[in-house]
A and B are shown apart, each in its own frame.
Chain A
Amino acid sequence: MTQTNRISGGLVDRSKTLNFTFNGKNLQGHPGDTLASALLANGQRMMGRSFKYHRPRGVLTAGSEEPNALVQLRAGAHQEPNTRATVAELFDGLAATSQNHRGSLETDLMEVTDLFSRFLSAGFYYKTFMWPKSFWEKVYEPIIRHSAGLGRLSGQEDPDIYDKGFLHCDLLVIGGGPAGLSAALTAGRSGARVILADEDFLFGGRLNAETFEVDAMPGSDWAERARAELTAMDNVRLMTRTTVYGAYDHGIYGALERMTDHLPTSSGKPRQILWRIYSKRAVLCAGATERPIAFGNNDRPGVMLAGAVRAYANRWAAAPGKRVAVFTNNDDGWRTASDLSRAGVTISAIIDSRDGEPRAQIPGATVAMGGRVMDTCGRKGIRSIKLVDGRTIDADCLAVSGGWNPNVHLTGHQRGRPAWREDLAAFVPGEDLPAGMAVAGAANGALTLAAALSEGRAASEKALNDLGISPNGGDMVKAEDEAADITAFWHVGESKARAWLDQQNDVTAKDVKLAHRESYRSVEHLKRYTTLGMATDQGKTANMLALAIMAECTGKTIPETGTTIFRPPYTPIAMGALAGRARGKDFRPYRLTPSHKWAEEQGAVFVTTGMWLRAQWFPRPDETHWRESVDREVAGTRGSVGVCDVTTLGKIDIQGRDAAEFLNKLYVNGFAKLAVGKVRYGLMLREDGMAMDDGTTARLGEHHFVMTTTTANAGPVFRHMEFCRQCLWPELDVNLISTTDGWAQFAVAGPNARKLLQKVVDPEHDITNEAFPFMACAELTICGGTKARLFRISFSGELAFEIAVPARYGDSLMRVLMAVGEEFDVVPYGTEALGVMRIEKGHAAGNELTGQTSAANLGMGRMVSKKKDCIGNTLSERPDLNRDDGLRLVGFKPVNRVETLTSGAHFIALGKSAVMDNDEGWMSSVTFSPELGHSIGIGFIKQGSERLGEVVRAVDLVRGKDIEVEIVSAHFIDPEGERLRV
């Protein structure tokens, strides 16, 4: 098939031919074509099937508001469903398929749905499929899911790259039609930093679709000249294929730039870029969208908007039909007739709902003033139309114009409401625009050319004046205002057949009336009940008709009926673009520990803990199960010595004359009397009295402390301390720095820990038990003069130290410790072994410090000093937190030692049923203890510390477990702490 409907003129490049396929059929088009224009040029009117009734549908519009012509583009993983053919640029090799039919587009097996339409009226979801209830999941839902919906996803990983970017400007001009170009030229010539964005690939907007003149040249030539001038300005950034989709606070706009969608492949470049544009001022020049008129069978392929018919003929040199009829309520429809007639297309009739004289002489056309189209005929595209007066007129295309709606969408993104203009029979932007935004041109209701040009200039000048830039826009452009009279007319009441309002969601005039009868009268309810205005087009061509019909039903005016709230995005955005590069392992950044490279060399298995990637365990080649590795690491540590990278613990350096007092106010226990060279465990509470975090704090000098926090709370605790310092006690002389990344820190634990460290610490420093006892700390040197800090603290319950060096020496120190430790069979251990040893020792960690547990719950009630006040101590005395039957942290052993405990299990007394009323607490952490040879756990149970030896049940309904457990001390090993002090 050749391009049977290609006519002369237009802005397509006939010197090149592009080959493409539609449903496998080979077709040709030219650069400058969209898929829709190329299909029309090839005489392909039918482009898809409707969502609900599978009715044949063709293209309705020539822009991003298209409800019908949704296609799947490309193949394989690159396949993209629900692409509007009206905005898909043609490229050589493009492959498109139509959607939503079983069998071919021409013979859709689902077409029978249309015969049952009277059962599928508005709200049918809510009325049918109600019984039997059990049918929903197994029968109804699968059927609905299978038959409904638009295109299909490829089901494969999206192979394209998406990026995000940030732009700043004085003036953002949204839309590059006459108003936008005029605004951008004015601001650009005045030296302001300008961004001009348009969703089209060509600047000019309607200038490219009309036959108007600007400055005595064709409008499209003037647009091209304006583009060239703006391109030459360094202070102007031109963005085509860029949709400004949302207006956010403080002059921030979201925009999506389609970088490679018009190319056969992305060639490794980002497919789309999601921009955040920071503007000082913005001018919305988004133009207007034409709306149809509702009448019987107004959805047949070939029924199109009049402005779109004109655009296809004028811009794309594609005649949507051979015999075109026009149905209009305004002067704009007449322009379609005269433009097409001039291009040699037969105009069979002009039906104008207004009375009066014909607005133009169109050769050969039947003119029906005061006429109305009642119905259309033709199975897969219209053949003829029927008028209310009984006449039948042949036409293979019916151009319909019900007037134009200003594109006010972005003006409502900050909840602004549009205002009604009776003379336009349309909503225009209201008073409460987003701060910094002005509206110009058709978007502002200035629907004629000269008005649009001058409004764009005026809005730009106003913005420049606001910014203190003197406008220097040059000569006024010369253009004339075209005729634009309209008499509102929404739907043909005489039509018996279904009249479609929302073609994307198959909503008819009757559905709106039904919704009214069933009391869904508010526009927001109407939308949800009928699905009007949902999905990819958001009812851009549909909503006004439905509002008008609802207004008729209720006897209210259209402005009283109101519109639904406009929300971003203006047009659909792919999830990939919103995700950008934050996919897979790049979902969020993670930090590597200083020993990461070394651990990698050892074949460590890594785990994400908070913002860090940490070694979880270090498998040896002969080990097949993670437990083997972890048990070996624990045994090696408890038996001799192990090393673990604990850099991830938060470290906060605290200095100042009032540092000790500051800590006293922060921690429940006292720090003022902590001696220099000593470490103390501390617990801090939130203001509400619940435990916030714990850790050790070392006093390195009279006015110098180093605090450690848990890995997860490093950020929040630092923020909390800064809040206390700045907002609560500004009079204290204290300063804080987070040094978490500054120091590499390793735990060296086990009976041989000291012997190992003595090989590293420079000989002048005595670290014997006498000189450097449990809870000592010192700044010293290692490996012949390297600055280090040594803390004698233990999380494992063994004789243990933590040694810190500036982070840049972390990798070396790990290697040195492993080398000198060889004679002690030193083992590196990961977070799993760390966890095993802390549970064996009964230390609280993240599972216990949940923010819902108090010091008393944790068994640390007595730590809360009575001699001084700290944050949270007052509210920790709330009666409910001090009940006699309060939860206490204790240990648990399975009565039958071969059983495996699970965390999350709830404690129930023996013989009682497992219901909430009998709940006594929960298991928070469990592990297999290599030392004891069975499963152990710690958890919270009512009055736990007074119930040691009692047996209760640990019921885990999620995992289907019910195990008898004995309440024991949480200190499973070395309860007296003798190992720590040797």
Chain B
Amino acid sequence: MIRIPCPYCGERDHSEFTYGGDGSITYPALDAPMADWLEAVFERENVRGLQLETWHHVMGCRMWLLVERDTMTHEIHSVRAAHTGLAAVLEEKS
């Protein structure tokens, strides 16, 4: 039961969002070698503390978000749009 401040919609219940996954992963290019894809898809840190993760505001603005959350306390440190262009626009506005 946590609250996520969506940069577009404002603070909302987590039930409006769907958890994505590890937000620190940079997916390789589609033609990257298999080793890169294996690492990106299967290798995961089990972070104790601050973790970057993706959430989808599926019941709201549908924006994919990058959320910095503390896995011990659920404290949310930052939220920004995953789409680089959107993030820049929203930051300019605020």
* A and B: bona fide binding partners: yes
**Chain A residues with a Cβ under 8 A of chain B:** 248-250, 252, 276, 278, 414, 435, 665, 687-688, 715, 719, 722-723, 725-728, 730, 869-871, 873-875, 877-878
A570 to B17, CA, bound (A): 29
Judged by a CB distance under 8 angstroms, whether B83 is at the interface is yes
Interface string of B72-94 (1 = CB under 8 A from A): 01110000011111100000000
Whether A665 touches B30, Cβ cut-off 8 Å, given contacts A687-B41, A726-B83, A874-B37, is: yes
Query: Would you give the 0/1 interface string for B55-67, flagging 1 where the beta carbon is closer than 8 Å to chain A?
Result: 0101000111000
Judge whether A875 and B34 touch: CB under 8 Å. Answer: yes
Give Cα A871–Cα B29 distance, bound, in whole angstroms.
10
Kindly state whether residue B24 has any CB partner on chain A within 8 Å. Answer: no
Residue B32 is within 8 A (CB to CB) of chain A in the complex:
yes
Least distance between A279 CB and chain B CB atoms (Å): 11
A715 to B20, CA, bound (A): 13
The answer on a CB contact under 8 Å between B27 and A728 is: yes
Can you sample 20 A-B contacts with CB below 8 Å? Answer: A249-B1, A249-B74, A250-B3, A687-B40, A719-B58, A722-B56, A722-B64, A723-B20, A725-B83, A726-B64, A726-B81, A730-B84, A869-B30, A869-B31, A871-B30, A874-B30, A875-B34, A875-B38, A875-B41, A878-B34
Which residues of B (1-46) have their CB < 8 Å from a CB of A?
Answer: 1-3, 18, 20, 27, 30-34, 37-38, 40-42
Is B18's CB under 8 angstroms from A719's CB? Answer: yes
Interface residue range, chain B = 20 to 34
User: Contacts of B64 on A, CB cut-off 8 Å?
Assistant: 722-723, 726-727
Whether A874 contacts B32 in the complex (CB less than 8 A), given A249-B74, A723-B64, A726-B64, comes out as: yes
Alpha-carbon distance between A687 and B29 when the two chains are bound, in angstroms = 12
Residues in B whose Cβ lies below 8 Å from that of A723: 20, 54, 56, 64
Bound CA span A725–B84, Å: 11
What separation, in Å, do the CA atoms of A907 and B50 have in the docked complex? 49
CB distance from A411 to the nearest CB of B (A): 15
B85 partner residues in chain A, CB cutoff 8 A: 730
B64 to chain A, nearest CB (A): 4
Beta-carbon nearest neighbor of A716 in chain B: B18
In the A-B complex, the 8 residue pairs with the closest CB atoms: A869-B30, A726-B83, A249-B74, A726-B64, A248-B1, A250-B3, A727-B82, A874-B37
Residues of chain B lying within 8 A (CB to CB) of residue A276: 1
Residue from the set B63, B73, B75 with the largest chain A CB neighbour count within 10 Å:
B73
Cβ of B74 to closest chain A Cβ, rounded Å:
4
What B residues does A873 contact at CB under 8 A?
Answer: 30
Contacts of B81 in A (CB 8 A): 726
Residues of B participating in the A interface, judged by any CB pair closer than 8 Å? 1-3, 18, 20, 27, 30-34, 37-38, 40-42, 54, 56, 58, 62-64, 73-75, 81-86
Does A687 contact B37, Cβ atoms closer than 8 Å?
yes
Cα distance A715–B62 when bound, in Å? 12
Q: List 8 additional contacts besides A252-B3, A726-B83, A730-B86; criterion CB under 8 Å.
A: A435-B73, A687-B27, A719-B58, A722-B56, A723-B54, A726-B81, A726-B82, A870-B30
Kindly list chain A residues whose C-beta atoms are within 8 Å of the C-beta of B62. Answer: 722
- Docked Cα-Cα span, A715 to B56, in Å, equals 12
Look across to chain A and name the residue whose beta carbon is closest to the beta carbon of B1: A248
Expressed in whole angstroms, the minimum distance between the Cβ of A884 and any Cβ of chain B is 20
Bound Cα distance A730, B64 (Å): 11
Question: Would B63 and A726 count as touching, CB distance under 8 A?
Answer: yes
In the assembly, what is the distance between CA of A687 and CA of B56, in Å? 18
Asked whether, in the complex, the Cβ of B1 is within 8 Å of the Cβ of A250, the reply is yes
Count A-B contacts at CB 8 Å.
Answer: 68
Contacts of B82 in A (CB 8 A): 726-727
Bound: A968/B40 CA distance, A: 40
Q: Measured between alpha carbons, how far is A727 from B65 in the docked complex, in Å?
A: 9
A435 cross-chain contacts in B, Cβ below 8 A: 73, 75
Residues on A with C-beta less than 8 A from B40 are 687
Contact check, B27 vs A875: say whether CB atoms are below 8 A apart. Answer: no
Taking CB atoms, residues of chain B closer than 8 Å to A715 are 58
Q: Which residue of B lies closest to A725 (CB)?
A: B83
**Given the complex, which residues of A lie within 8 Å of B75, measured CB to CB?**
435
B54–A727 touching, CB < 8 Å = yes
Residue in A276, A723, A871 whose Cβ sees the most chain B Cβ within 10 Å = A723
Contact of B34 among A250, A665, A877 (CB under 8 A): A877
**In the complex, residue of chain B having the shortest beta-carbon distance to the beta carbon of A736:** B62
Determine the distance from Cα of A640 to Cα of B61 in the docked complex, in whole angstroms: 46
B contact residues around A252 at 8 Å (CB): 1, 3
Contacts of A250 in B (CB 8 A): 1-3, 74
Closest to B86 in A: A726
Closest chain B residue to A432, Cβ basis: B73
Task: Give the shortest distance, in Å, between B68 (CB) and chain A (any CB).
Answer: 15
Question: When A250-B2, A726-B63 are in contact, do A688 and B41 touch as well, CB less than 8 Å?
Answer: yes
Q: How far is the CB of B32 from chain A (nearest CB, A)?
A: 7
Q: Are A874 and B54 in contact (CB under 8 A)?
A: no
Q: Which residue of chain B lies nearest to A687 when distances are taken between CB atoms in the complex? A: B41
**In the complex, what distance in Å separates the CA atom of A877 from the CA atom of B58?**
32
Chain B residues in 8 Å Cβ range of A665 = 30
Smallest Cβ-Cβ distance to A874: which chain B residue:
B37
| Smallest Cβ-Cβ distance to B18: which chain A residue | A719
**What is the minimal beta-carbon distance from B60 to any residue of chain A, in angstroms?**
12
A874, B2: Cα distance in complex, Å: 37
Chain B residues with Cβ below 8 Å from A278 are 3
- Whole-angstrom distance between the Cβ of A722 and the nearest chain B Cβ: 6
- Which chain A residue lies CB-closest to B34? A874
Could you tell me the distance between the alpha carbons of A105 and B29 in the complex, rounded to whole angstroms?
A: 76
Q: How far is the CB of A426 from chain B (nearest CB, A)?
A: 27
Cross-interface CB contact of B56 among A719, A874, A875, A878, cutoff 8 Å? A719
Nearest Cβ in chain B — how far from A243, in angstroms? 18
Complex Cα gap A873–B20 (Å): 21
| Minimal beta-carbon separation of B63 from chain A (angstroms) | 7
Of A725, A874, A878, most buried by chain B (CB within 10 Å of CB) is A874
How far is the CB of B85 from the nearest CB of chain A, in Å? 6
Looking at the complex, which one of A414, A727, A869, A878 makes contact with B83 (CB distance below 8 Å)? A727
Q: With a CB–CB cut-off of 8 A, which chain B residues contact A414? A: 73
Q: Do A249 and B2 form a contact, CB below 8 Å, given A719-B58, A875-B37?
A: yes
Distance between Cα atoms of A715 and B32 in the complex (Å): 29
Q: Which residues of A sit under 8 angstroms from B32, Cβ to Cβ?
A: 874
B1 CB to closest chain A CB, in angstroms? Answer: 4
A665 to B30 Cα, complex, angstroms: 8
State the CA gap A113–B46 with chains docked (Å).
51
CB distance from B61 to the nearest CB of A (A): 11
How close is B93's CB to chain A, nearest CB, in angstroms? Answer: 18
Residues A730 and B37 in contact in the complex (CB < 8 Å), given A719-B56, A723-B20: no
- Minimum CB–CB distance from B84 to chain A (whole Å) comes to 5
Minimal beta-carbon separation of A173 from chain B (angstroms): 20
In angstroms, Cα B20 to Cα A874, docked, is 22
Residues of B within 8 A of A719 (CB): 18, 56, 58
Q: In the bound complex, what is the Cα–Cα distance between A878 and B37 (angstroms)?
A: 11
In this complex, what residue of A is CB-closest to B4? A250
Q: How close is B59's CB to chain A, nearest CB, in angstroms?
A: 11
Q: How far is the CA of A894 from the CA of B73 in the complex (A)?
A: 58
Give chain B residues whose Cβ lies under 8 Å from the Cβ of A726: 63-64, 81-83, 86
Instruction: Indicate the member of A250, A414, A665, A875 with the most B CB atoms within 10 Å.
Output: A250
Beta-carbon nearest neighbor of A879 in chain B: B34
The smallest beta-carbon distance between A694 and chain B, in angstroms, is 20
The docked-state distance in angstroms from the alpha carbon of A687 to that of B22 is 14
Bound together, the chains give a CA A726 to CA B58 distance in angstroms of: 13
A871–B40 Cα distance when bound, in Å, is: 13
Complex Cα–Cα for A414 and B1 (A): 12
CB distance from A947 to the nearest CB of B (A): 30
A172 to chain B, nearest CB (A): 15
Once bound together, how far apart are the Cα atoms of A248 and B73, in whole Å? Answer: 11
B86: min CB distance to chain A, Å: 7
Taking the closest CB of chain B, its distance from the CB of A664, in whole angstroms, is 10
Q: B87 → chain A, closest Cβ, in Å?
A: 9
* A residues in contact with B30, CB < 8 Å: 665, 869-871, 873-874
Docked Cα-Cα span, A665 to B40, in Å, equals 18
Of chain B, the residue at the smallest CB distance from A251 is: B3
